[in-house]
Structure 1
Amino acid sequence: MQSFRGTGVALVTPFNEDLSIDFDGLTRLIEYNIDQGVDYLVALGTTAESVTLSEEEKKQIKRHIVSITNKRVPLVLGLGGNHTAAIVATLKTAGVVDGFDAILSVSPYYNRPTQDGIYAHYKAVSEASSLPIIMYNVPLRTGSNMEVSTSLRLATDFENIIGIKEAAGSMTQALRLLKDRPEGFLVISGDDMLALPMVSAGGDGVISVIGQGIVQPFSEMMRNGLEGAFAKAYTAHYKIMPAIDLIFEEGNPAGIKSMLSHLGICEAHVRLPLVKASEALHQKIGAYLKTS
């Protein structure tokens, strides 16, 4: 699964002032990322505000991303949730994953299943999916942590579960995954700040938020890390760290949308219950871009 090594970015959903989808902005975002050297794109993840999109809007966004990308880079579709039967039914619906190369499926949130429940959930998703699956562990959002033993059990038992986006914020957990993973199983950082350290330890890359805003420097940093040029990679990492802090200061995707608005790619609008970055943060992000 070499297609998913390196830098993937979790695309935002650009909105117009009336909060309708800004498809022109989405086109600019895709072209900017491809032109600047991103390795693959992730659609309809958390950063895309997918929970506030209607099913019809999701269909339109998928079609648009597939059309504009036109197979120039691999595409991953965010498709997860806490209602296992609904996800299975969606996966079995004709045309749902057309044009995509893998799915990114988050561990069930809010209902906080046991580790056996998480295993059974992914077993059902695996059996329903025609595409490779990248699991997503993000305890800060889901309310429960996929333990290393559960991730490794799933990696071993199901051939189409090809990797995990690991965003527990723990290098210890990442190291345990890397130490005992089956051959070929991808360990992908879900945390921009830990992406390079995880690659240094043997990880396979990142699904990034900041990467869609400062694409070329971030992608090059990750590429250098994967090639073992760590001195060069960490020099870039330390320059990028302030930007990572800034875009998450008031939550995601408010910060990255502020950055994208400075870059002229799309406006900073988000849907409630999220709100735009404050003017103070917006100015700080602009100042960073001018001096970086």
Structure 2
Amino acid sequence: MTKFHGTGVAIITPFNADLTVDHNALTNLVNFNIENGTNYIVISGTTGESVTITKHEKQAIIKTIVEANNGRVPLVLGIGGNNTAQVIDEIKTTDLSAIDALLSVSPYYSKPQQEGIYQHFKAISEVSPVDIILYNVPGRTSSNMTPETTLRLARDFKNIIAVKEAGNNVHQYLTLLRDKPEDFLIISGDDDLVLGVVLAGGAGVISVLGQALPKQFTTMINLGLEGRAKEAYKIHFGLMEMTSLIFSENNPAGIKAVLEALGLSKSTVRLPLVEATNELKQKIKTELQKIES
């Protein structure tokens, strides 16, 4: 498999009860994932609560993950935003020596036209010393990056190597898979759709659920990459309810509740997010027992 085929995980930022970053839990989570088959780790994505992490905390988080990883799997770092100049400045001033690629979200809130999205990523591509994975997540940005824009960027810039597509739109996935350059990767950001995407030619996933259940998730993805649909769907069906549960209130509160139930980290999140309700936590514990039995 190439560097970003298979299962990547959008790792959480564990917090202590006082809302400081829990670096011990973060180290344990990195080791847990690598030891159970995760192919690469994404740092400071949406699931990592990047919008409430300070610049100093982000640097410390990167350091902890780089040290825990010790070169075992590729690392992807989230650097994105809706201020192009600020994104460029962060890229230029961040030590990327241990980072294999950037994950950069399509500009949010501003609702740029497609040409604005293209020019934003063009400017980022021209300064980035590492490869770039585009990130389209219209449910959060309120702006869809169309397949035409994604593929235009893929063809025009050699260091734009992939898109994490998270539009939860099957037709958009299939359009990307049909029309993409041969070496451009379509990575699913939708845990509920990823198996179908992989079976249709996708490269894999950047998953939320995968970090809590890496053995099951990576086995499913690997079976999908091998075209073993029947075996892969058996695992998919077993994970469907948990996939629904973790997104039923907010992300990452749901996945943090799963990780708490597994004894890997606390369920603490930073405002404006709030912890999963006790009702959801109980449902998650019940579902975990089914999955683990």
TM-score, length basis structure 2: 0.98
Secondary structure, aligned partner of 2:112: coil
**Structural mapping, 1:172-211, within 5 Å:** 172-211=171-210
Q: Which residue of 2 aligns with 1:99?
A: 98
Q: Which residue of 1 aligns with 2:90?
A: 90
Post-superposition shift, 1:8?
A: 0.1
1:249-290, Cα deviation, whole Å (9 max, x unpaired): 111000000000010000000000000000000000001111
1:93-132, Cα deviation, whole Å (9 max, x unpaired): 2x43221100000000000100000000000000010000
Q: Which residue of 1 aligns with 2:67?
A: 67
Q: Which residue of 2 aligns with 1:152?
A: 151
Secondary structure, aligned partner of 1:2: coil
Post-superposition shift, 1:61?
A: 0.3
CA distance in 2, matches of 1:66, 1:214: 22
Letter in 1 for 2:41: L
Q: Which residue of 2 aligns with 1:223?
A: 222
CA distance in 2, matches of 1:96, 1:19: 26
Confirm whether residue 289 of structure 1 aligns to residue 293 of structure 2.
Answer: no
Letter in 2 for 1:209: V
CA distance in 1, matches of 2:92, 2:241: 43
Structure 1 alignment gaps of length 5 or more: none
CA distance in 1, matches of 2:97, 2:261: 33
Question: Would the aligned equivalents of 1:13 and 1:26 in 2 still touch at CA under 8 Å?
Answer: yes
Structure 2 alignment gaps of length 5 or more: none
1:139-177, Cα deviation, whole Å (9 max, x unpaired): 000010001110010000000000000011111000000
Letter in 2 for 1:4: F
CA distance in 1, matches of 2:78, 2:92: 15
Secondary structure, aligned partner of 1:80: coil
Letter in 2 for 1:78: G
Letter in 1 for 2:59: K
Which ranges of 4 or more aligned residues in structure 1 deviate by more than 4 Å? none
Secondary structure, aligned partner of 1:8: strand
Q: Which residue of 2 aligns with 1:77?
A: 77
Q: Which residue of 1 aligns with 2:26?
A: 26
Q: Which residue of 1 aligns with 2:235?
A: 236
Letter in 1 for 2:5: R
**Structural mapping, 1:35-50, within 5 Å:** 35-50=35-50
Question: Would the aligned equivalents of 1:43 and 1:75 in 2 still touch at CA under 8 Å?
Answer: yes
1:2-38, Cα deviation, whole Å (9 max, x unpaired): 1100000000000000000000110111011011100
RMSD: 0.8
Percent identity between matched residues is: 53
